[in-house]
Amino acid sequence: MTTGTGTVITYREAMKQAIREALASDPRVFVMGEDVGKYGGCYAVTKGLLDEFGEERIRDTPLSESAFVGAGVGAAVAGMRPIVEIMTVNFSLLAADQIVNSAATLSHMSGGQFHVPLVIRMATGAGRQLAAQHSHSLECWYAHVPGLRVVEPATIDDARGVLRPALACPDPVLIFEPNSLYNMEGELTGAAATADLSTARVRREGKDVTLVTYGASLWRCMAAAEQLAAGGVEAEVVDLRSLRPLDDATILASVRRTRRVVIVDEGWRTGGLAAEVAMRVVEQGFYDLDAPIGRVCSEEVPIPYPKHLEDAALPSVERIVTAVRRTMGDAE
Amino acid sequence: MNELPAGITRERGLHLLTEMLRIRQFEGRCAELYSAGRIRGFLHLYDGEEAVAVGVMQVLGKGDSIVSTYREHGHAIARGIAMGPLMAELYGKRTGCSGGRGGSMHIFDAATRFYGGNAIVGGGLPLAVGIGLAEKMRGGRGVAACFFGEGAAAEGEFHESLNLAALWKLPVLFLCENNLYAMGTALARSESQTDIHAKAAAYGVRAVAVDGMDVFAVEAATHGAADFARAGKGPTLIEFRTYRFRAHSMFDAQLYRDKAEVEEWRRHGPVISLTTRLKAAGLMTEDDFQRIQGEADAEVKAAVDFAEQSEWEPVEDLTRHVYAEVSAP
């Protein structure tokens, strides 16, 4: 059952509605991955779809990430529109060869003769006490690779809307879904219809500082912005949405308004996406800045299991507020 | 020496020899051009394995697909990719069959469903599984033929792919060219089970091992596998026992094998074997052989001229095709 504008649904349900719509409207679309059928999806995103669409189109795969991601590449090149679910980004490393060496290269290496209209969905992120091997945020590794498109919907509308342009795109698209957002509820608005694969959005306007972020950190930034507002600092929050390509124009336009920027990224600091965003601001907006760029990233540690340590490792509202105050020149 | 199968005509015999000699003469010239610096990068020659490509391609039709390796000139020529664009690709020219972007290891050709030389050992197998899956889901009769060396059998992707193809009964032909050496590592130094075809049993995959030096045996085994796949019964693994006469690549000093071993294999190589049998059966004369070789040389010369005269891709086009420029069909 697809719900209309104005309904309150979960992030999970938004994604499921998008998949159901794609399956119903295009016979080339099918879903494949571990436990997507009988089990209903590791995060229950595909629950019920097996009964609705059958085993031919909702395909449970063996635990063989390289084979089923590679099969997705092959099926896409051969004219199908596969939606491959990798349970989490952690396991995507077992399929990295197919994503980086095949999906990303075939168009260029074949001189444009072949394309890979493949969608790969995977959960990402920490925050659920799952320890080091289930808590990675490795989006930036894939955003590093020419030939891939990388998006991370952080809102209900984007979760509902991004699959359609991803499937229409002739290039491989990686959709990262923050696992801590699946239960988030929100109202579906008309904005779902305008989701795309290349633009950032200003989620909160403010004149004093720009917070650039993506994924689950968006909501930490929104909370931090509320706290800061209580102290008289108006933060503008930019949700990147697309990690490759990056929407330089939206980032720079905001920075030119606020003249200060803090980047919030659940990935590690070293060689991370925050570094890339910061450098683009420096290259294109150095003289617009009134203060050094700040970064709030995960601590350089494999994400630990106990809650107090995990919390300490991740970007928190408190750390974001502190970083903003430092950027504003407040004494610590 | 195997007997010539019954019913082989002069026309048939000469056709198969012609195809093998086209590959051999093409690659002989490639080796020279590599030494002369006209071809760069890695160059992996197929010398000795021609019967596999030629035998397999006799069976495959227009609707079938090919996934290949970095040692794929023979597959490409036997599949019908013209020598001119192929040689231009080795040169890196814009008229190359991949627009010059891939070179020797990455031959692509949409018109013949040639889905690339893949330079990651084992990397092509999942791709072929996906192409077979697409074919099956659309109700087509095409098969996906996937070449790989015996070295790939040690990779996880080999095992994952056999399992998935068998589980879903996909029309995939796993074509293992067992030339006994994974670069410089002999099979027995890297595999606990050196009978590659025996591994298929663990996945319930139909498997056979055949003499890869005998083009007729290759063709017959491929027929069996293709018929099986087209009947919806699933994949077959064929282990072609063959040998590469030349080095792994042009950088290889071949310290890992004896010259005597190479000479022994050369004595029953695919070209010499077929030539001897055709002559013995009275189906071919030495004049025929010379004529065929001469025609192949002329075709290669024209291909080299084409590559030499072709232009380079302008640098302004460097980032083209990283993303699609047109909507996929």
The complex scores an ipTM of 0.94
Give Cβ neighbours of residue B36 (< 8 Å, ≥ 6 apart): none
- Domain map of chain B by residue range? 10-311
Inter-chain touch A74–B328, beta carbons under 8 Å: no
Would you state the pLDDT for residue B41? 94
With helix as H, strand as E and coil as C, how does chain A read?
CCCCCCCEEEHHHHHHHHHHHHHHHCCCEEEEECCCCCCCCCCCCCCCHHHHHCCCCEEECCCCHHHHHHHHHHHHHCCCEEEEEEEEHHHHHHHHHHHHHHHCCHHHHCCCCCCCCCEEEEEECCCCCCCHHHCCCCHHHHHCCCCCEEECCCCHHHHHHCHHHHHHCCCCEEEEEEHHHCCCEEECCHHHHHCCCCCCEEEECCCCEEEEECCCHHHHHHHHHHHHHHCCCCEEEEECCEEECCCHHHHHHHHHHHCCEEEEEEEECCCCHHHHHHHHHHHHHHHHCCCCCEEEEECCCCCCCCHHHHHHHCCCHHHHHHHHHHHCCCCC
Convert B197-206 to b/e letters by CB count within 10 Å (16 or more is b): bebbeebebb
The answer to whether residue A106 neighbours chain B at the CB level (below 8 Å) is: yes
Write out chain A residues lying below 8 Å of B118, CB-based.
102
Inter-chain CB proximity A109 and B116 less than 8 Å: yes
Q: Do A74 and B126 touch (CB under 8 A)?
A: yes
Rama region for B23: left / alpha / beta (φ>0; ψ in -120 to 50; rest): alpha
Residues of chain B with pLDDT under 50: 328-329
- Chain A neighbours among B 236-265 (CB < 8 Å)? none
Q: Which of B306, B267, B274, B303 is nearest to B288 (CA)?
A: B274
CB contact under 8 A, A71 and B129: yes
| Site of tokens 């084409």 | B306
Contact A74 B321 (CB under 8 A): no
Under CATH, which number does the domain A8-194 receive? 3.40.50.970
B139 touches chain A (CB under 8 A): no
Residue owning tokens 């801590």: A180
Furthest C-alpha separation in chain B = 58
CA distance A47 to B4: 59
H/E stretch holding B135 reads: helix B124-137
Phi, psi of B76 (to 5 degrees): -65, -45
Residue of B108, B133, B173 to mutate for A, most A C-beta atoms under 10 A? B133
Contact list, B127 vs chain A (CB under 8 Å): 70-71, 73-74, 77, 98, 102
Q: Tell me, yes or no, if B68 comes closer than 8 A to chain A by beta carbon.
A: no
A332 carries an active-site annotation: no
Q: Which pLDDT does position B15 carry in this prediction?
A: 98
Chains A–B, number of C-beta pairs less than 8 Å apart: 159
Q: Going by DSSP bridges, is the β-strand pair B114-118/B185-186 parallel, antiparallel, or unpaired?
A: unpaired
Burial classification of residue A183, based on how many CB atoms lie within 10 Å of its CB (0-12 exposed, 13-18 middle, 19 or more buried) = exposed
CA-closest candidate to residue A317, choices A237, A223, A238: A223
Nearest to B321 among A67, A72, A112 (CB): A112
Interface with chain B: mutation pick from A61, A110, A198, highest number of B CBs within 10 Å = A110
Rg value, chain A, Cα: 20
A242 CB near a chain B CB, below 8 Å? no
DSSP B67-82: EEESS-HHHHHHHT--
Query: Per the CB < 8 Å rule, is B102 touching A109?
Result: yes
Are A146 and A99 contacting, i.e. CB atoms less than 8 angstroms apart? no
CA nearest to B113 within chain A: A78
Q: What CATH code is assigned to B10-311?
A: 3.40.50.970
Q: Is A291 exposed, middle or buried (0-12, 13-18, 19+ CB in 10 A)?
A: middle
Query: Structure tokens of B25?
Result: 């003469």
Å between B73 CA and nearest CA of chain A: 15
Instruction: Kindly report the nearest CA distance between residue B198 and chain A, in angstroms.
Output: 21
B65: Cβ contacts below 8 Å, ≥ 6 apart: A78, B113, B114, B115, B128, B131, B135, B142, B143, B144, B145
Distance CA B277, CA B271 (A): 10
What is the CATH T-level fold of the domain A201-327, as seen in this structure? Rossmann fold (3.40.50)
Residues 23-82 in A contacting B (C-alpha not used; CB under 8 Å):
30, 56, 59, 61-62, 64, 66-80, 82
Confirm if B187 and B181 have CB atoms less than 8 A apart.
Answer: yes
Question: Which residues in chain B are contacts of A170 at CB distance < 8 A?
Answer: 323-324, 326-328
Q: For residue A22, give the amino acid letter.
A: A
Selected catalytic residue, list A13, A34, A134, A310: A134
pLDDT score, position A36: 97
A:180-209 residues touching chain B, CB 8 A cutoff: none
Q: Flag if A110 and B116 touch (Cβ within 8 Å).
A: yes
For A296-328, the pLDDT digits (tens) are: 999 999 999 999 999 999 999 999 999 999 999
The predicted-structure confidence for A214-242, as pLDDT tens digits, reads as follows 999 999 999 999 999 999 999 999 999 99
**Which regions in chain A score pLDDT beneath 70?**
1-3, 331-332
Separation of alpha carbons B126 and B287, rounded Å: 46
User: Is B84 in CB contact (< 8 Å) with chain A?
Assistant: no
Nearest to B322 among A56, A66, A107 (CB): A107
Closest CA of chain B from A316, distance in Å: 36
Per-residue pLDDT at B329: 36
Q: Please check whether residue B99 touches A, CB under 8 A.
A: yes
Please check whether residue B129 touches A, CB under 8 A: yes
What pLDDT, on a 0 to 100 scale, did the predictor assign at position B318? 94
Catalytic status, residue A134: yes
Contacts of A114 in chain B (CB under 8 A): 108, 110, 115-116
Judged by CB atoms closer than 8 Å, whether chains meet at A67 and B157 is answered as yes
Residues of B in contact with A107 (CB under 8 A): 321-324
CA of B160 vs chain A CAs: smallest distance (Å): 5
For B130, the closest of A75, A146, A169 (CB atoms) is A75
